[in-house]
C-alpha cells in the first residue's frame, strides 16, 4: 500500500462520536474567550505589558488557540475536565475583578446587578457572531492538519456515512456562520433591482471559483491524498460554497428575507422525503448503476453535488438567525432574552433531532440529510447562546472596572442616551480610544485568507512530514507552530491595515 493510500485509509470509514461530546467541545471556545477578556482586564490594572501588540497576540494565542489544539489531541478524552478548568479559571479571574471593582465599590451585589441591567450597549457592533465565525475557523484550521496525525482521535474526524464527527460540524458551521453575515442580512446591494443584485452576487463568487479550480488542479497534479466519498472526484468545499451562494441568492430574491426559516424547513423536509421515497439515496451511495461507478460528471461528484441541497437549507437557517441576532437592541436585558430564546430553540431542535434519528434517518454528512441539517443548526444555536452568555458576563466585568478596555467586545453606555452627543459623553474616555488590535478582529477581517493559508500550509506539511508515524510530542510541536505561523501572518496583515477582499 502506497503512502497516499495509507493516508486516505487513515481518514476513511469512521463513525464519529456522540452529540454530547461535540456540544461540550463547542462550549470550550466560548469560555476561553471569556477568560481572555477577564485576563486582559486584570493585566490592564497590573502592568502595561498587555498594551503591546506582541503581548496581546501572545495572550490571545495561548488562551484562544492552544486550548483548542489540546482539546483535539492529548486532552480529547478529557474535554469536560478541560472545560471545567477553564470555567474555574474564569470564575477566579472574575472574583478578583469583583474584589477590585471601582464602580459601586460599597454597594451590595443586588444593587450592582440592578444598575448593570439598566445600562445600554453600543448597538452598532455585536461581537457574538464574530466570536462564532472566528472560533469555527480556528477549529477547522487545527482539525484539517491534526486529522493526519495518529494523535487526533478518529472519532472526531469526518464520518463515512452516518454519525456525528467534530469535523462534520466544522463544515456545516462555516456555512451557517457565513450566512449570518451575508449581504442580504447586512442589507447590502438591496437598494438596486433584483437583476443588479444577482449580478453582484455572481461577481462575488469569482475568488471561490479560482480557489476551487486551483485546489482541484493542484491536488490532481501532485497526487495528494483525497477522501473520495467526502465530495467526489473533482468536487471540493469551494464549489459547494459557490453553489450555495448562487442558489440562496435566487431564493432570497423570490422569498421574503424574514421567511428564510420556512424555506429552510421546506427544503430539508422535501429533500428527506426524496431520499426516502425515490432512488436518490441509492444514487448518492452507489451511483447510477448501483456498482459505485465514478463514470460521468454526476457519478464522479454525486456526494458534493447532491449534498448542496442540505447546505442551502443550513444557509437559509443562518440567514434567519443573523436577522434575529443583528436586530437593533441596546439594553442588557434584551440580550439576555435573545440568549434564552436561542437556547430554547436549540434544545427544541435537539429533541426533534432525537426523534428524527430514531424514526427517520440518522445524521449523514455525506448526504447532508434532514438530521444533519437539524444537528448543525441546533449546535450552532447552542454555541451562539453560550457565546452570548460569556459576552454578558464580560460586559458585567467591564462594568465593575471603570474604563476597562477589551478589544472585540461591547462598549458600555452607563444609562440610556437620548441623543448621539449624550451617548458619546457617557462612554468612558479610555473606551472611546481605539484599543490594541486583537487576534479575533484580525481573523475576522481575513477569514478567507486564513482558510486558504491553512489549506496551503497543511498540504506543505503533509508533503514534507510523515504524519502517520509522528510521535505525540512532534505532532503537538508541528500543530502549534503551524497555528502560530498562520495566526501571526494574519495578525501582521491586520496590523499593516491589509484586509484582503477581492470582491
Q: Which of 200, 259, 174 is nearest to 455 (CA)?
A: 174
Distance, CA of 411 to chain centre: 23
Residue 371 lies in a domain: yes
148: in domain:
no
Give residue 498's pLDDT. Answer: 78
Phi-psi region of 501 (alpha: psi -120 to 50; beta: other; left: phi over 0): beta
- Those residues with Cβ within 8 angstroms of residue 431's Cβ, 6 or more apart along the chain or in another chain: 403, 404, 405, 411, 412
For residue 295, how many C-alpha atoms fall within 13 Å in the half-sphere facing its CB? 5
Calpha distance 149→69 (Å, rounded):
13
The pLDDT value given to residue 418: 39
Per-residue pLDDT, 108: 87
Q: How far is CA 193 from CA 189, 197, 198, 200, in A?
A: 9, 6, 9, 11
d(CA 475, CA 292): 36
Per-residue pLDDT of the chain (503 residues; tens, 9 = 90+): 677 778 777 778 888 899 999 999 999 999 999 999 999 888 876 665 556 778 889 989 999 999 999 999 999 999 999 999 999 999 999 999 999 888 888 888 888 898 888 888 876 678 899 999 999 999 999 999 999 999 999 999 999 999 999 999 999 999 999 999 988 888 775 555 677 778 888 888 888 898 889 988 988 887 777 778 888 899 999 999 999 999 999 999 899 999 999 999 999 999 999 999 999 999 999 988 888 888 889 999 999 999 999 999 999 999 999 999 988 888 888 899 999 999 999 999 999 999 999 999 999 999 999 999 999 999 999 999 999 999 999 999 999 988 788 888 888 876 544 344 444 434 444 444 444 578 999 999 899 899 999 999 998 998 899 888 889 999 999 999 999 999 999 999 998 887 765 44
Residue span of the structural domain in which 40 resides:
3-128+154-424
Which pLDDT belongs to residue 442? 92
- Helix pair 302-325, 166-180: axis angle to 10 deg: 50
Overall domain count for the chain: 1
Q: Which of 434, 450, 455, 452 is nearest to 492 (CA)?
A: 450
The number of helices, as runs of H, and strands, as runs of E, in the chain is: 23, 2
The answer to whether residue 133 sits within a structural domain is: no
**Separation of alpha carbons 228 and 215, rounded Å:** 15
Around Cβ 303, how many Cβ atoms within 10 Å? 21
Please give the pLDDT value at position 408: 84
For residue 140, the model assigns a pLDDT of 94
| pLDDT given for residue 416 in this prediction | 45
For residue 463, being part of any structural domain is answered with no
Beta bridge partners of 413: 120
Is residue 387 one of the residues assigned to a domain? yes
CB within 8 A of 412, min separation 6: which ones?
119, 120, 121, 122, 395, 398, 399, 427, 428, 431
pLDDT value for 124: 65
Cβ–Cβ < 8 Å for 145, 461:
yes
pLDDT of residue 290: 85
120 within some domain: yes
120-121 and 412-413 as β-strands: parallel, antiparallel, unpaired? Answer: antiparallel
Amino acid at each position: 500500500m502506497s503512502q497516499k493510500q495509507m493516508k486516505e485509509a487513515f481518514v476513511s470509514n469512521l463513525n464519529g462520536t456522540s452529540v454530547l461530546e461535540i456540544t461540550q467541545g463547542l462550549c470550550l471556545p466560548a469560555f476561553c474567550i471569556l477568560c481572555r477578556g477577564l485576563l486582559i482586564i486584570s493585566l490592564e490594572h497590573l502592568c502595561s505589558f498587555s498594551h503591546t501588540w506582541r503581548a496581546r497576540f501572545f495572550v490571545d494565542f495561548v488562551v484562544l488557540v492552544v486550548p483548542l489544539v489540546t482539546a483535539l489531541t492529548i486532552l480529547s478524552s478529557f474535554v469536560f475536565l478541560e472545560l471545567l478548568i477553564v470555567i474555574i479559571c474564569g470564575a477566579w479571574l472574575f472574583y478578583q475583578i469583583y474584589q477590585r471593582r471601582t464602580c459601586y465599590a460599597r454597594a451590595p451585589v443586588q444593587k450592582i446587578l440592578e444598575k448593570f441591567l439598566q445600562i445600554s450597549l453600543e448597538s452598532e457592533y455585536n461581537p457574538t457572531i464574530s466570536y462564532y465565525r472566528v472560533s469555527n475557523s480556528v477549529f477547522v484550521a487545527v482539525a484539517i492538519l491534526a486529522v493526519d496525525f495518529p494523535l487526533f482521535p478518529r472519532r472526531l474526524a469526518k464520518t463515512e456515512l452516518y454519525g456525528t464527527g467534530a469535523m462534520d460540524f466544522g463544515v456545516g458551521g462555516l456555512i451557517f456562520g457565513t450566512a449570518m453575515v451575508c449581504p442580504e442580512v447586512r442589507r447590502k446591494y438591496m437598494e438596486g433591482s433584483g437583476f443588479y443584485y444577482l449580478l453582484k452576487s455572481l461577481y462575488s463568487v469569482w475568488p471561490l471559483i479560482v480557489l476551487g479550480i486551483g485546489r482541484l488542479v493542484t491536488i490532481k497534479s501532485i497526487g495528494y491524498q483525497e477522501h473520495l466519498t467526502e465530495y467526489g472526484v473533482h468536487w471540493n468545499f469551494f464549489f459547494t460554497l459557490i453553489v450555495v451562494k448562487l442558489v440562496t441568492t435566487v431564493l432570497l430574491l423570490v422569498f421574503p428575507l424574514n421567511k428564510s426559516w420556512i424555506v429552510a424547513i421546506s427544503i430539508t423536509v422535501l429533500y428527506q422525503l426524496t431520499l426516502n421515497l425515490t432512488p436518490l439515496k441509492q444514487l448518492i451511495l452507489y451511483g447510477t448503476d448501483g456498482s459505485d461507478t465514478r463514470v460521468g460528471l454526476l457519478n464522479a461528484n454525486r456526494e458534493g453535488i447532491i449534498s448542496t441541497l442540505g447546505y442551502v437549507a443550513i444557509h437559509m437557517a443562518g440567514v434567519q438567525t443573523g436577522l434575529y441576532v443583528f436586530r437593533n437592541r441596546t439594553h442588557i436585558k434584551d440580550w439576555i432574552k435573545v440568549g434564552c430564546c436561542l437556547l430554547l430553540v436549540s434544545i427544541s431542535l435537539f429533541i426533534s433531532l432525537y426523534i428524527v434519528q430514531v424514526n427517520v434517518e440518522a445524521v449523514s454528512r455525506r448526504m447532508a440529510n434532514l438530521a444533519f441539517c437539524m444537528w448543525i443548526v441546533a449546535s450552532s444555536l447552542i454555541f451562539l447562546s453560550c457565546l452570548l452568555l460569556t459576552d454578558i458576563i464580560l460586559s458585567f466585568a467591564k462594568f465593575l472596572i471603570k474604563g476597562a478596555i477589551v478589544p472585540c467586545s461591547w462598549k458600555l453606555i452607563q444609562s440610556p442616551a437620548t441623543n448621539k452627543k449624550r451617548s458619546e459623553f457617557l462612554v468612558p474616555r479610555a473606551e472611546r480610544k481605539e484599543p490594541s488590535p486583537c487576534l479575533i478582529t484580525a481573523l475576522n477581517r481575513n477569514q478567507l485568507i486564513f482558510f486558504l493559508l491553512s489549506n496551503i500550509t497543511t498540504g506543505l506539511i503533509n508533503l514534507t512530514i510523515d504524519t502517520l508515524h509522528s510521535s505525540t510530542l512532534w505532532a503537538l510541536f508541528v500543530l502549534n507552530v503551524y497555528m502560530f505561523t498562520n495566526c501571526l501572518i494574519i495578525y501582521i496583515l491586520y496590523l499593516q491595515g491589509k484586509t484582503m477582499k477581492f470582491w
